[in-house]
Structure 1
Amino acid sequence: MSVIKQIVRNTLSGWLAVGIRGALALIIVPFLLNHLGKEGFGLIGILGVIVSMAAVADLGLRGALGRELAEQLARNDLKIYSELASTALVLYFCLACVLGFAGWLLAPWVVEVLKVSEAMYEDAVSSIRIYGILSIILSFITPVFSAALSSFHRFDLINSVQLIVGIISSVTLFVVIPVVENPLYGWVGVMLVSELSILFLSIIFFRKFCNGAEIGLSYLNIKRLIPLFHLGGYLYVIQLAQTLTNTANSIVLSFFLGPISVALYQPASKLSAMFNPIVMTLAEQLFPLTTKFHTTENKEKLQETFLWGTKYTLLLGGFVSVNIFIFSEPLARLWLYDSLGDDYLVVVQVMKIFAIVDLMTYAAGTQWPVLLGMKKLRYLSILLVVTAILNILVSIFFVGFTAVGVAGVLYGTIISKFIRIILLTLHVLELLKVRFFVFFRFSILGPLSCLFFSALCAWILINNYSCDTWIDLMSMVAATTTVWLFCFWFIGLNFNERSHIVAAIKKIRGKSGSKPQNPV
């Protein structure tokens, strides 16, 4: 299968996986709120934060592994590939055990710092010690096999694993939580089983589809970790900054306002986490290609990858952000009013800000895979650290010392991300020798035009028609989608792109319509 066909296949499988999980999330969030309560639901969010924070201690090595495996595959050196993967697995397992032990010891202190109520104290400590520790270990082991699959460009298999396990675990939650004595422990049990299942399936797919690659103790070679540490140094700083940016919000909210504020923050956060992978599916699977183009010194292909990736990511991202921003009030009301009452309005505020933050993320396009493929991470690491600190300080100010409330935790994210996207875009353009005018005309102007007309349509609908049912909301989204598709075809795409798409569709229809000839 060609790389282009594999990318399309990966993208479609990613959309399907995230779409189904997202649809399930729309049902699960109010379900968990009803059974766990606001504080219990907030505690679930805090558990996720703890696991994410533990990932910082991997020294950036997990992020470096995928890139280094892709390089060895491009060089067709499967012996070094196997040694690298095997040695990394042993190292990550040792790190995870150390972190798990630390988590066991620090669990009571963490619960006190995050101001969990006395009624939830014992459950919170037990959840951190059981779920937190085991989840940390699994989160260090599974990425080795995921990195191997991604280096072979089998993102579709990774998506399939997440889809299958996501559906089964979601259905299991609906069955288990209502019948167990402690719903929080029921959630912990289901999540641990699902994470074990992901590891098990990832190992099976690795053995079947990563031809020539092996993982075993016989391949241990400490020397293979040297390139990981070289690249991992910058990746560690980058990962630390990203983790602080992504997890600090929940910590700041819990510290100043308690776990209930996290429960009001989580629905918008989960909605963002649901759509972000759909939009970023293309960009996230490009680092094996950018690594290959850099290794073979094909700068023209690197430039094309950056320009095309940014354009298509922003086209789709603009559509998603417009719908979430403008339709946030009816969506939150229909989705969460029965569980949160008038507090759903807080969720609306957070959803609107998340839509802006995510739009800036989409505008960054393929900057990350290009920089990772080129091993040009020094500037990015410095910029991320500075803006992460700015983000935390601004968030603390608005949440702790003003009356803005939960939404204020994202003000720092908006400011820091805006600064970062401007400076980083200019840096990447300089590295690739691409003029800003060419970049803006090819990758930005069309998507912004589509965004404007889609937003105009959505704004007219929401201000002139009532939206009291899911059918009303879906009708408005459908109308906005129609406008976006029209703009996408005639504004977002140029003549050559439309011609290629038409030719591809005709080719597919021709193959499906052809009949085998009688050999007689």
Structure 2
Amino acid sequence: MSDKALAVRGVVFNWLGRGCAIIITFFLTPYLVSKLGDESYGLWSMVMAFTSYYAMADMGLRGAGVKYIAQYLAVKDYESVNKVFVTSLAVYALIGAVILVIVGIASVILPYTIDLGNHSIREMQWVIFLTGATMATRMLSQVYGAALSAMQRHDITNIVAVAMQLFQAVAVVAALLGGYGLWGMAVATFTVTLTGQLLRTAFSYWLLPELSISTQYFDKQMLKQVFRFSGVNVMANTAARLLVYGGGLIVGYMWGPAMVLFYTIPESITQKTSQLGSAITQVIDPLASRLNAQKNKSAMLELMVLPPRLLTVSSLSLAIFFAFFGGSVIRQWMGPQYVEQMTPVLCVLAVARALKMSTGGLQAVLRSMAKLRVIAIAAMLEICITLVFGLTGVWYWGPIGMAYAILIAQFLVGLLFVPAATCKALDLPIRRFYLDVWPPSLAALLPPLCVAFLLDYFWAPGRLLELAVVCGLILVTAGISAFFICVPRNRRSDILVSLTFRSPVKPA
């Protein structure tokens, strides 16, 4: 199957995977809050946020693995593929061991720095250690996930992901019903993570039998090449994790664990829904690397326009839904007592996520061209702006202050800096980029905006099922609108053929 067909199918399967994750989170989160209480749920959110930063220890190797494995697969250089694979795997093994040492130390110290409420220090030490060990386990098979992404086998990746999400939901509920609390949740999460990583490992060898873990493929030159690229990914990943988890930590330390809930719930909603857009960006990364390896500049220029259009329409359509119905979602999902404080945070974060997602395709183009300095500058700007405005905003205004800080960072970096830098790299006038992307995108948003207004005026849905139907109607309208307004006519037939093509997928 062609690269374009694989890309389209990858987006569809990514959407299915993200959709299932949203549904699972939608039903599981209220249960966790009601079972644990605001304070215990806030503690769990803080622990998960803190231990999630262990994932930055991969030093961006997964992104480098996707780029270089896809690049060498495009020219059928399997020896270089194995060099990337084995070299990365050796580094991941070392990182995993280091993380276990660090998490052991953190599990002893961290519980003494947090208000634990009714939880014992020993219990929280085990929770922190197990969640950190979960991150270490993920390290050991990141390279296998990179191989699947490089082959554009997002169907396999998402099938495994959905199965593990369902498994984890069942395991977590069983742990709470059994009275095991946060400790049981940590054990369940670790067990599911280990199972998922083993499945991804097995599928990687099945789909790419040329893979080998022979020590002869460990290559110092390849190590330098991978680290040169991955070093910038560390900064980008730091910025991304600061957006996802940093706000909860800052709110928790400044306002206490009970207030974390008022930020992390809206953040969780926007994070999960924005993953519908990341379904496109994950496909763009290996595709851009292949096109760059093939010196296909015209296709690269097309990647600068079409993905940003689709990402802008999809993410802003969700922002429209939250602007009209966010309060109803919070009321029916979490309870009326959360509406006043959570709804503004939800709306601001939805717009910030939309600005972030609108440049996802551009960053993929920059990565494929190895424009590492630009990506590093963007990441540093994002981190600094978010921290400066976030610390100040949370101090004075609480959770909403962090949401505004993220919005400011995304406006300056996502809407201005990244497009300008990408246009310069491809010798495209910035004015042409904005005219090619934003007028069609905004025009495609008019139909879903009208649908949201009419539904709010004539229906005013209140129940969760009704709200889900409304969200679906808005997104379907946005999808149809984007298909006819944002997608060029010659690409529409390519998309339709890709969705109905039935021959087996074989990696290039």
TM-score (norm 2): 0.91
**In 1, are the aligned partners of 2:5 and 2:494 still within 8 Å (CA)?**
no
Shift of residue 201, structure 1, vs aligned partner: 0.4
- Look up the equivalent residue of 2:81 and give its one-letter code: Y
**In 2, are the aligned partners of 1:322 and 1:451 still within 8 Å (CA)?**
no
Of the three residues 266, 277, 283, the one matched with 1:268 is 266
1:459 counterpart residue number? 453
Q: Deviations over 1:371-404 (max 9, x none)?
A: 110000202212321331121121111212x1x2
1:208 counterpart residue number? 206
Task: Find out whether 1:393 has 2:388 as its counterpart.
Answer: yes
**In 2, are the aligned partners of 1:100 and 1:136 still within 8 Å (CA)?**
no
**In 1, are the aligned partners of 2:62 and 2:142 still within 8 Å (CA)?**
yes
Tell me, in whole angstroms, the C-alpha distance in 2 between the residues paired with 1:177 and 1:119.
15
**In 2, are the aligned partners of 1:318 and 1:447 still within 8 Å (CA)?**
no
Match of 1:97, SS?
helix
Shift of residue 333, structure 1, vs aligned partner: 0.6
**In 1, are the aligned partners of 2:137 and 2:194 still within 8 Å (CA)?**
yes
Map 1:224-373 onto structure 2 (within 5 A).
224-337=222-335, 341-373=336-368
Tell me, in whole angstroms, the C-alpha distance in 1 between the residues paired with 2:171 and 2:130.
19
1:428 counterpart residue number? 422
Match of 1:375, SS?
coil
Match of 2:141, SS?
helix
Shift of residue 162, structure 1, vs aligned partner: 0.2
Shift of residue 164, structure 1, vs aligned partner: 1.1
Tell me, in whole angstroms, the C-alpha distance in 2 between the residues paired with 1:83 and 1:185.
40
Tell me, in whole angstroms, the C-alpha distance in 2 between the residues paired with 1:483 and 1:246.
28
1:468 counterpart residue number? 462
Match of 2:212, SS?
coil
**Cα gap change, 1:255 to 1:74, in 2 (>3 Å):** same
Tell me, in whole angstroms, the C-alpha distance in 1 between the residues paired with 2:364 and 2:172.
36
Higher mean Cα deviation, 204-213 or 489-498?
A: 489-498
Tell me, in whole angstroms, the C-alpha distance in 2 between the residues paired with 1:16 and 1:35.
29
1:51 counterpart residue number? 51
**Cα gap change, 1:113 to 1:452, in 2 (>3 Å):** farther
**Cα gap change, 1:59 to 1:476, in 2 (>3 Å):** closer
Shift of residue 145, structure 1, vs aligned partner: 0.4
Q: Deviations over 1:234-261 (max 9, x none)?
A: 2233333333343321211111112222
Higher mean Cα deviation, 326-335 or 308-317?
A: 308-317
How many residues end up aligned between the 2 structures? Answer: 502
Q: Deviations over 1:169-223 (max 9, x none)?
A: 21233333212x3221221121111101111101110110013122244533334
1:517 counterpart residue number? none
Match of 1:286, SS?
helix
Shift of residue 225, structure 1, vs aligned partner: 0.8
Task: Find out whether 1:81 has 2:47 as its counterpart.
Answer: no
**Cα gap change, 1:308 to 1:211, in 2 (>3 Å):** farther
Q: Quick one: percent identity of the two aligned structures?
A: 19
Tell me, in whole angstroms, the C-alpha distance in 2 between the residues paired with 1:439 and 1:165.
40
- Look up the equivalent residue of 1:372 and give its one-letter code: R
Tell me, in whole angstroms, the C-alpha distance in 2 between the residues paired with 1:377 and 1:143.
21
Tell me, in whole angstroms, the C-alpha distance in 1 between the residues paired with 2:286 and 2:142.
16
1:103 counterpart residue number? 103
2:151 counterpart residue number? 152
**Cα gap change, 1:80 to 1:407, in 2 (>3 Å):** same
Of the three residues 372, 376, 385, the one matched with 1:377 is 372
**In 1, are the aligned partners of 2:33 and 2:41 still within 8 Å (CA)?**
yes
**In 1, are the aligned partners of 2:244 and 2:267 still within 8 Å (CA)?**
no
Higher mean Cα deviation, 114-123 or 356-365?
A: 114-123
**Cα gap change, 1:159 to 1:474, in 2 (>3 Å):** closer
Shift of residue 15, structure 1, vs aligned partner: 1.5
Q: Please, what is the CA RMSD of the aligned residues?
A: 2.5
Tell me, in whole angstroms, the C-alpha distance in 2 between the residues paired with 1:486 and 1:73.
34
Map 1:120-159 onto structure 2 (within 5 A).
120-132=120-132, 134-159=133-158
**In 1, are the aligned partners of 2:313 and 2:482 still within 8 Å (CA)?**
yes
**Cα gap change, 1:481 to 1:380, in 2 (>3 Å):** closer
2:3 counterpart residue number? 3
2:506 counterpart residue number? none
**Cα gap change, 1:493 to 1:245, in 2 (>3 Å):** closer
Unaligned 5+ residue runs, structure 1? 513-520
Tell me, in whole angstroms, the C-alpha distance in 1 between the residues paired with 2:458 and 2:443.
23
Match of 1:67, SS?
helix
Tell me, in whole angstroms, the C-alpha distance in 1 between the residues paired with 2:241 and 2:394.
19
Greater radius of gyration (CA): 1
Tell me, in whole angstroms, the C-alpha distance in 1 between the residues paired with 2:274 and 2:460.
28
- Look up the equivalent residue of 2:410 and give its one-letter code: K
**In 2, are the aligned partners of 1:454 and 1:483 still within 8 Å (CA)?**
yes
Task: Find out whether 1:163 has 2:156 as its counterpart.
Answer: no
TM-score (norm 1): 0.89
Task: Find out whether 1:447 has 2:441 as its counterpart.
Answer: yes
Map 1:114-125 onto structure 2 (within 5 A).
114-117=114-117, 119-125=119-125
Tell me, in whole angstroms, the C-alpha distance in 1 between the residues paired with 2:399 and 2:125.
25
